Chains A and B, each alone.
Chain A
Amino acid sequence: MPSLAPGGCSQHRTDSLLRLGLNPDKWDILVALAGNPNVGKSTVFNALTGLRQHTGNWPGKTIVRAEGAFAYENKRLKIVDLPGTYSLQAGSADEEVARDFILFGRPDVTVVVVDATRLERNLNLVLQILDITDRVVVYLNLVDEARRHGVAVDPQRLEQRLGVPVVSGVAREKVGIDDLLAAAYRVARGRQTTRPYRVERLTGSVEETVAALARTVADSFPSVPNARWVALRLLNADDAVVAAVRSGELGQLGGARPAEQDAPPPPQGARDQVLETARRLRWELPADFHDTLTERIFVAAREIAAAVGMQGLKRARFDIDRTMDRLLTNRWLGFPLMLAVLAVVFWLTIEGANVPSSMLAALLIEGVHPWLHGLGAAAGFPWWLSGFLFDGVYLATAWVVAVMLPPMAIFFPLFTLLEDFGYLPRVAFNLDALFRASGAHGKQALTMCMGFGCNAAGVVSTRVIDSPRERLIAIITNNFSLCNGRWPTQILIATIFIGALAPAHLAGVVSAAAVVGIALLGIITMFAVSWLLSRTVLRGEATSFSLELPPYRPPRVLQTLYTSIIDRTLIVLWRAVVFAVPAGAVIWLVSNIEVGGASLAQHGVAWLDPFGLLIGLNGVILLAYVVAIPANEIVIPTVLMLTVLTANVAGAGSGAGVMFELDSIEATGGLLRAGGWTLLTAVNLMLFSLLHNPCSTTIYTIYKETRSPGWTTLSALMPVAIGLTVCFLVTQVWRLVAA
């Protein structure tokens, strides 16, 4: 009987678990949760742990491993939700994560979630997992949906065929979860022995090659339960398995019984012998070796699925699904419907955010800010301390929160609802042709839309793109989506300068058209840059396309609201606040530290002015973009404050380093004109607001997602270079035409 005291595992296992980021002292039983994408794996996870982990109707959602803990029969269970994968051949990062965890983390039991409506496809993964470990429990999910399709799967017969416990249920309604837990517990504690199904042998000389290597492996590592699997992986030159053989760790892997887990590794000579044999035998394999292996697993899956009451189900789709798909991807209706949906989402976001935004501004800026000053005065703070803390740090943070929070809290849940319902994959499907032409992936349509909400969130959302090259393109070009933080700038400047060109009754339409034009320019730039990237620096990166269209599922509104606010809105907001605090401090300091009779800001503006004017902007704008890099939201307040500071406009603003906005648009316009702004400045500012470096939150996110300083630098600098060039050209042409 295996001992399951905390830390009762071997030193080797403890080491590999620590390497995987898990501390084995914290639990008694380790459970891994595996399954294909989109089978309700995360729902099972939530049902087991009670934690509300976000479950998206998206293939490939869970790329960051989710973990949870709970107690059962006085034992502490740790459960790890692995990325959803179709296979364990370690072709993609997801598959590698899942495979490495099952192989090296050696969970006490692996629960494989299987979609009963697509048993055949799902068994492919189950059979691959059974090759690695025999401590497996299969959870047959969505049996209700299957029944509605007229498909009944017999769990008992499936259990007989697979040789591991099978529990059927409906995770969404928590049906069968108790049984699943009991079965997993039995297998983990070794109270139920399993006899896992193993895929049949190959034929002819290939089988001889594999068998020969398997014998060598079995001789060197007698404790390995499935030498054949190891042989196959070695013949596939699986680096992780090769390394495990070389180090001798292999002896403790797979379903090895704990008694054998601390057996000494075989001598170096024997291990080298295995690797040498594998190396030699690889020359003898036919070119289609890998194809044949995959095929045999599918053949076995088909045969098992047929035997347990399911034929190869060709059309596991509801009629209503078909009708919806026909409608949403229709040649004539597809695009108009899509535009309508997006327009509604944006309208709800912009209109809906107005009221809470001004309420927050009233509270945080007009209410709390003076109150803090009062508090500072009462406590006897010197002017510079309350200035630094309240006008600098606090005000920047308050501004970011007031402008950023409401639109995000509306946009993200709406987007998530569409995602959970299953509509977004259809959008990607419809738009793929457009993106393919520029060397990108159809799913970039979605990350781009997400970028309209927030570029940092857009960059994170590129995780749904599973091909490395296309994902990089999506990350680098996300900044060309005009984000929430930039919409107010665009609308304000367009209203003041461009709307004023038109007759009064058309002013609103004209300025709105100008803003939409800028957003469209962003989309065009995105396509152009994607095209360029895919033909230059990214030409050599790996590419592969696949897009699964999951069945439509009714979204769960309340849960979506809860999780999308937690998952997306608050995380992004937190990062923005973290970056806004030092920016507020810097803005206040440069405006108040004086050198040689002028503040640093005035020096900076004077120094940047010649270059600014050359490209049709001015020193104030450039300095504002430098110091307000953490958040686009504070660019306009900073510009106004700096304008007052440097142009010596009387009667506006609240002092050096205190950001402000004016209630009346006319007054703002007057102030800007007093600062020397012309129509050209306004046009260039609108262009530059679209085409400049991402905010520091986004840059940081890009670094976290790519883990590459090079790509991060490119993503940060390329848009600025484009922006400066465009502004310069526009200015030269403008002056030429005007003169």
Chain B
Amino acid sequence: MAAFAILCLLLAALLWPERGLLPRWLQILRLSERVRLEDALKHVFACRQAGQACSVDSLAGHLAVSSGEAAALMSRLAGMGLMRMESDGPVLTQEGARSAVRIVRIHRLWERYLADRTGVPARKWHDQAERMEHALSMEQADALDARLGRPVWDPHGDPIPDAAGGMPPAPGIGLAAATPGRAVEIVHLEDEPPEVYDALLNDGLDLGGRLEIVERSDRGIRVRSGGREWTLDPIAARNVNVRELPPDAADDRPWTTLRDVRPGETARVVEISHACQGPQRRRLLDLGVVRGAEIVPELVSAAGDPVAYSIQGALIALRRQQAAWIRVESDGAGTAPEVA
């Protein structure tokens, strides 16, 4: 009995969240020197990409370290030949830029992986990718790339650098620059800082989603989508990039998903939500869930979920969560005309 109690205590001491030996050890590992160097490299790269000023202070702020430590990091990077100081602040050497792109590649691939292949929620993607970018080797990243079907964009709309390091600029124009009255498609949602990103997600914005710009004012940008109208504050709006759609593309039909369709009603597919990506999306498409396809809920399982739908002549069971991804138009009458 005593042996058992001791074993329990030992396990607790080892594994207790945040205070156990193992979590602490992992924490120390995370903050190791290499990680900080890589983060510093990434910071300088991101600043230069965005055309912003970059300095010891901005680095100290970004990494939450003292300016002394930040300066030490920079001089080490310079000593490694990855960076040099110029009049307007630090600049990456060719080698330094290559290393930075490599880290960015792993980060964005991992975000793509989390979005496509796992149930990890959007607000956790960035943090997990921050950790993985230091942990994966280039070979592992290539294998992941192949497994994911060599994606071009990460789930926030940022381009994923390819193995050779090539990468186009982030797409689209700022939401503030879009013409009022025009329909736009969201092509990029910035995920930093997390508070702003959270607010965007809570507003129901997602990549590939459509908005109509109602008006622009000092207080923010008034937008409409899916029959709902609201105002995005200027800071949030700055983190959204959009692409203007042709003038006739406004789509303000109310949102109905397949989940809301009652048995016997006929639904016509409008689109699959952009939240559904990767193999799940491909599977739905292959099953015949494509724009314009007609779907009739036929059968509810004994437990209420899943529901079997008649799709292109076959009876396919989908879970409620999947049905909620499928946006449809429904006649709502419950009397689907029989097709001869």
Binding site for B on A (CB under 8 A): 86-87, 89, 91-92, 117-121, 124, 150, 236-237, 239, 279, 282-283, 285, 287-288, 290-291, 294-295, 298-299, 311-317, 322, 325-326, 329-331, 334-335, 429-434, 436, 442, 467, 539-551, 728-729, 732, 736
Contact = CB atoms under 8 A, between A and B. Distances in A.
Contacts of B99: none
B294 A431 contact: no
Interface of B: 1, 4, 113, 117-120, 146, 149-150, 152-153, 159, 162, 164, 166, 168, 187, 207-208, 266, 272, 274, 278-283, 285-288, 290-294, 296, 298-306, 308, 310-319, 322, 336, 338-340
6 contacts: A287-B207, A295-B291, A329-B299, A334-B301, A540-B117, A545-B318
A291 B285 contact: yes
Nearest to B208: A287
Contacts, number: 183
A407 B166 CA distance: 62
Contacts of A467: 279
Given A329-B302, A334-B302, A546 B313 contact: no
Contacts of A431: 303
A325 B317 contact: no
Contact of A237 (B150, B280, B282, B287): B150
B149 A236 contact: yes
Contacts of B291: 291, 295
A433 B304 contact: yes
A278 to B, nearest CB: 10
Given A288-B208, A335-B302, A314 B159 contact: no
Contact of A124 (B282, B288, B306, B315): B288
B158 to A, nearest CB: 12
A89 B319 contact: no
A431 B281 CA distance: 24
Given A283-B168, A294-B286, A548 B305 contact: no
Contacts of A290: 282, 285
A155 to B, nearest CB: 18
A18 to B, nearest CB: 24
A317 B310 contact: yes
Contacts of A236: 149
Given A436-B319, A548-B315, A89 B305 contact: no
Given A86-B286, A431-B303, 6 more contacts: A316-B310, A334-B302, A436-B305, A544-B279, A547-B317, A729-B4
Contacts of B150: 237, 239, 282
A91 B294 contact: no
A315 B113 CA distance: 38
Contacts of A540: 113, 117-118
Contacts of A543: 117-119, 280
B288 A121 contact: yes
Contact of B152 (A282, A311, A542, A548): A282
Contacts of A541: 117-118
A543 B280 CA distance: 7
Contacts of A429: 299, 301, 306, 308, 317
Contacts of B319: 432, 436, 545
**Which one of B207, B288, B291, B336 has the greatest number of beta carbons of chain A within 10 Å?**
B288
A736 B314 CA distance: 60
A236 B152 CA distance: 10
A282 B298 CA distance: 40
Contact of A548 (B164, B207, B274, B316): B316
Contacts of B113: 540
Which 10 pairs, one residue from A and one from B, show the smallest C-beta to C-beta distance?
A334-B302, A237-B150, A118-B313, A433-B303, A121-B312, A547-B317, A87-B286, A295-B290, A430-B302, A549-B315
A429 to B, nearest CB: 5
Contacts of A150: 340
B335 to A, nearest CB: 13
A118 B166 CA distance: 45
Contacts of B152: 282-283, 285
B169 to A, nearest CB: 10
Nearest to B303: A433
A91 B303 contact: no
